[in-house]
Amino acid sequence: MIGVARGPHRSAHLGDAVQVVDAAITDGALVAHVDDLRLHATGGWNDDRASNILDGGLPWYDVYETSDCKHVAVGALEPQFYQALLDGLGMTSEEGERGPERIPELRKRFTEIFLTRTREEWSAIFDGTDACVAPVLSMSEAPHHIATMSARQTFIEVDGVTQPAPAPRFSRHPEPGLEPAGSGGFTHPCGTGRLGGH
């Protein structure tokens, strides 16, 4: 999107009559992972799954099952967020002291503790804290969750179909009549629904 907006500006600035914007989703995805790629290049990220800082390698940045077979996501990297996590779990700073040698023990302890309550109970405990704990929501639940149904109206309904609101949003020019999501697209090869849109 930035490239499309930048193309005419660059053409006008350089005096070119035509400017082709070459953009691909893979380019954008790689730019979004520039920090991971930098870590990998410097030996700070390895290829083994669940062995790095942001892929579940740390017990304080992972997903845990709750007593109702649902899940919560934990992302308490910074010390103050980690302390809020420990407080919510009822653990002392000493019990939760971090270190590479403690990773298996802490993962086991977090797993045991999170299994003692439902996802909603954990949500209530961590709501309003800086613990970086959030419920993992299904596609059906997400549009109705308070975080997405806030004043931002992250989800909207068009002709009875709930879908993400357009982004970015313009204050003076709201989107014209939108077409419902799923009103086009491809039939799933197994006949279990539809894929994509047009």
Over residues 39-73, the pLDDT tens digits come to 999 998 989 988 888 888 999 999 999 999 999 99
* d(C-alpha 50, C-alpha 48), whole Å: 6
User: Is 0.75 surpassed by the pTM of this model?
Assistant: no
What are 69's two structure tokens? 């077979």
Nearest CA-CA partner of 95 in 122, 121, 113: 113
* d(C-alpha 75, C-alpha 82), whole Å: 8
What residue spans in the chain does CATH classification 3.30.1540.10 cover?
61-135
When mean pLDDT is compared across 3-12, 53-62, 120-129, the lowest value belongs to 3-12
> Residue 27's pLDDT band (boundaries 50, 70, 90)?
confident
What are 66's two structure tokens? 């709750």
Write the CATH number of the domain with boundaries 61-135. Answer: 3.30.1540.10
